[in-house]
């Protein structure tokens, strides 16, 4: 999947008015995901995404063997996405589901299962994202 296609799908699923909004939602979600999953897993996932998108996962890595994989749940995940995207937490949860749905479509196979397995059950709820939900008002 190309960068333009990824962002276009995020824009469509999240019903965002502009390209910049879709970029911001993608960055906010993937930087937060990069903080939550182990560093090596973030690298593997990033390698399966368009370069510009994958860099959002790598941006939060801690080099020198410490890794990432911070422990936090869904509330903190959504709160971080909201802060980065400059939106409400309700809207951030919808945006995260939308972005993670596109990530799932772009990265089929075992890497997606490994990412899901690295997340606690409440954060995993954000993974089956997409266009079926309704955005909050």
| Each residue's pLDDT tens digit, 65-113 | 444 678 889 999 999 999 999 999 999 999 999 999 999 888 876 688 8
Report if residue 135 sits inside a domain.
no
Report if residue 133 sits inside a domain.
no
Chain segment 18-46, per-residue pLDDT in tens: 999 999 999 999 999 999 998 889 899 99
Domain count across the chain: 1
Report if residue 21 sits inside a domain.
yes
pTM of the model: 0.86
CATH of the domain at 54: 1.10.490.110
Question: Cβ distance 102 to 13 under 8 Å?
Answer: yes
Report if residue 131 sits inside a domain.
no
Report if residue 89 sits inside a domain.
yes
> What is the extent of the structural domain holding 50?
3-124
CA neighbor of 127 nearest in space, from 107, 91, 103:
103
Report if residue 37 sits inside a domain.
yes
């Amino acid at each position: 999947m190309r960068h333009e296609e990824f962002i276009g799908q995020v824009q469509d699923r999240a019903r965002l008015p502009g390209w910049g909004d879709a970029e911001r939602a993608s960055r906010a979600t993937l930087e937060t995901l990069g903080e939550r999953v182990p560093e090596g897993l973030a690298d593997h996932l990033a390698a399966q995404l368009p370069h510009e998108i994958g860099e959002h996962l790598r941006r939060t890595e801690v080099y020198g063997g410490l890794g990432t994989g911070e422990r936090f749940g869904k509330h903190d995940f959504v709160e971080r996405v909201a802060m980065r995207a400059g939106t409400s937490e309700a809207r951030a949860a919808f945006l995260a589901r939308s972005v993670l749905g596109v990530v799932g479509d772009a990265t089929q196979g075992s890497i997606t299962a490994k990412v899901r397995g690295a997340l606690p059950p409440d954060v995993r709820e954000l993974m089956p994202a997409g266009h079926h939900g309704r955005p909050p008002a």
